């Protein structure tokens, strides 16, 4: 792969092509393929030199390329409820049909699941492991009902990491190379740091970052966090954004003015990326941040499994309402936010249940207006373009009034 004079977006495209092609090749060559959740401790898999693909990434790609309905229908035809996460329905349908015009992944030989993103993945991945009659490694990360991550929770996850290593050794027939594991942990820390540094450049006014670009780059923070290519990508992206920020260049190529800066709370509506982006841009609204940058900024002391266990149980989805509110309040102040757009995502109850209370507290503490729209991350039948545009227009009116009043 040549990196000569590539932009970060071009490099991103190449990396994703190689990621999927390598997985297909591994399966053909008889090497084991792992299906993993998106914010699982990938360091263990990388250190064991296993080929990994991520069903959530794959489902998002299928959704963005308008190919989700056939897989959703297949899963529902087997009796899975419409109320189950659409990523799960897409993936379970794909496991049956095993082909998509959008993108393909090989069938798994091992399932690797961490419940820190939601509880749905537990049964979803159990069902996939049962379907293919293959091993499942489960890391159960408990929700933190207290503000801070408890030491009991850390000990619980740390024990499971050690057990996961034992199971990976049994699966591969090889012992863990702890020097290699420490190296992967160092790479993962560095990649996550550059991801955060790049996305944090949106604090500039105008922001050099069009927030919807962050959705595109997310695929690689999922699948390449433990690889040097991921570090190179996010460092290159950072340098591009830094140059734009220093020149005062805004987020849009046509030079449109960034009139309003918002937080987008929730997963993207992948089947409607174009419409959701265009309505915002038409109204001069730029999504400058969300809870995503922090969620993949997983930092710890390399070589320290206990510290890594704490980091994986500390992500945004594992934190209580008080922590989540404080996080959004801090983002609102740091990024000079004018409003918040909440995506009430039918698939993601774990994120949605906090939204109304966070919305109330943001208004009370900072007088930040917000609206909520209904949608789904992959199921196109849930989203209404008319409702979305109506809610965005309402938000713009509230933000304009707030600006007139001097906030």
* pLDDT top residue among 406 and 358: 358
pLDDT of residue 407: 59
Residue 258 has pLDDT above 50, yes or no: yes
- Equal fold, 8-176 vs 181-404: yes
pTM summary value: 0.95
Phi, psi of 52 (to 5 degrees): -125, 135
Assigned token pair, 397: 């009116």
What is the secondary structure of 103-172 as a DSSP string? ---PPPSEEEEETTS-SHHHHHHHHHHHHHT--EEEE------SSSPPHHHHHHHHHHHHHHHHHHHHHH
Residue 373 has pLDDT above 80, yes or no: yes
Residue 1 has pLDDT above 80, yes or no: no
Domain residue limits, the chain: 8-176, 181-404
Which residue has tokens 């263990």? 44
Let me know: does 297 contact 193? Beta carbons within 8 Å: yes
Tell how strand 260-265 and strand 136-139 pair up: unpaired
Helix (H/G/I), strand (E/B), else coil: 310: helix
CA distances from 381 to 6, 105, 184, 212, 376 (A): 38, 25, 41, 22, 8
What is the secondary structure of 329-353 as a DSSP string? HHHHHHTT--EEEEEEETT-HHHHT
| 157-172 pLDDT, tens digit each | 999 999 999 999 999 9
| Residue of 375, 367, 368 whose CA lies nearest to 340 | 368
Which distant-in-sequence residues (6+ apart) come within 8 Å of 212 by Cβ?
268, 273, 276, 277, 287
Let me know: does 361 contact 342? Beta carbons within 8 Å: no
CA distance 395 to 387: 12
Average pLDDT of the residues in 67-87: 97
Residue 386 has pLDDT above 70, yes or no: yes
Which residue has tokens 């992967």? 184
pLDDT of residue 107: 98
CATH of the structural domain 8-176, one choice from 3.40.30.10, 3.40.50.11890, 1.10.10.10, 3.40.50.300: 3.40.50.11890
Residue 238 has pLDDT above 50, yes or no: yes
Of 44-53, 133-142, 320-329, 347-356, the least confident:
347-356
How high is the mean pLDDT of the chain? 95
Average pLDDT of the residues in 91-98: 98
pLDDT of residue 28: 98
Assigned token pair, 133: 């009659």
pLDDT over 70, % of the chain: 99
The DSSP element (H or E) to which 100 belongs, if any, is: none
CA distance 60 to 271: 8
Assigned token pair, 93: 């349908």
CATH assignment, 181-404: 3.40.50.11900
Tell how strand 136-139 and strand 33-36 pair up: unpaired
Average pLDDT of the residues in 34-48: 98
Assigned token pair, 185: 């942990």
CA distance 191 to 121: 25
pLDDT of residue 406: 64
- Tell me if the bond preceding 206 is cis, omega within 30° of 0: yes
Which distant-in-sequence residues (6+ apart) come within 8 Å of 117 by Cβ?
37, 38, 39, 315, 317, 350
Residue 185 has pLDDT above 70, yes or no: yes
pLDDT band, residue 3 (cuts 50/70/90):
very low
pLDDT of residue 2: 47
């Amino acid at each position: 792969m040549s990196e000569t004079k590539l932009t970060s977006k071009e490099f991103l495209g190449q990396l994703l092509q190689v990621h999927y092609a390598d997985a297909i090749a591994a399966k053909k060559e008889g090497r084991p393929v792992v299906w993993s959740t998106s914010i699982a401790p990938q360091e263990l898999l990388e250190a064991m030199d296993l080929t990994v693909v991520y069903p959530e990434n794959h489902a998002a790609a299928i959704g963005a390329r308008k190919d989700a309905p056939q897989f959703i229908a297949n899963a529902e035809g087997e009796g899975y409820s419409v109320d189950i996460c659409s990523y799960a329905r897409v993936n379970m349908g794909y496991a049956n049909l095993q082909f998509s015009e959008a993108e393909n992944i090989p069938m798994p030989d091992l399932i690797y699941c961490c419940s820190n993103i939601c509880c749905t993945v537990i049964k979803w991945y159990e069902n996939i492991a049962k379907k293919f009659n293959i091993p499942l490694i489960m890391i159960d990360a408990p929700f933190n009902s207290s503000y801070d991550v408890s030491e009991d929770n850390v000990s619980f996850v740390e024990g499971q990491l050690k057990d996961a290593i034992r199971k990976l050794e049994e699966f591969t027939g090889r012992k863990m190379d702890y020097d290699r594991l420490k190296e992967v942990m160092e790479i993962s820390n560095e990649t996550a740091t550059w991801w955060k540094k790049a996305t944090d450049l949106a604090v500039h006014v105008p922001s050099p970052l069009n927030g919807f670009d962050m959705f595109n780059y997310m695929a690689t923070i999922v699948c390449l966090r433990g690889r040097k290519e991921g570090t190179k990508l996010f460092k290159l992206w950072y340098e591009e954004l830094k140059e734009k920020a220093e020149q005062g260049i805004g987020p849009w190529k046509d030079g449109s003015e960034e009139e309003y800066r918002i937080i987008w709370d929730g997963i993207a509506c992948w089947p409607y990326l174009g419409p959701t982006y265009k309505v915002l841009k038409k109204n001069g609204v730029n999504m400058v941040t969300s809870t995503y940058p922090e969620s993949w900024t997983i930092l710890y002391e390399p070589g320290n499994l206990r510290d890594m266990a704490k980091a994986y149980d500390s992500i945004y989805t594992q934190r209580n309402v008080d922590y989540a509110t404080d996080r959004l309040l801090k983002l609102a102040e740091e990024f000079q936010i004018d409003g918040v757009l909440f995506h009430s995502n039918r698939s993601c109850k774990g994120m949605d249940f906090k939204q109304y209370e966070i919305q109330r507290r943001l208004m009370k503490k900072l007088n930040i207006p917000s609206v909520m729209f209904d949608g789904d991350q992959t199921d196109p039948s849930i989203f209404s373009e008319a409702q979305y545009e109506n809610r965005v227009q309402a938000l713009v009116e509230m933000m304009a009034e707030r600006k007139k009043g001097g906030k």
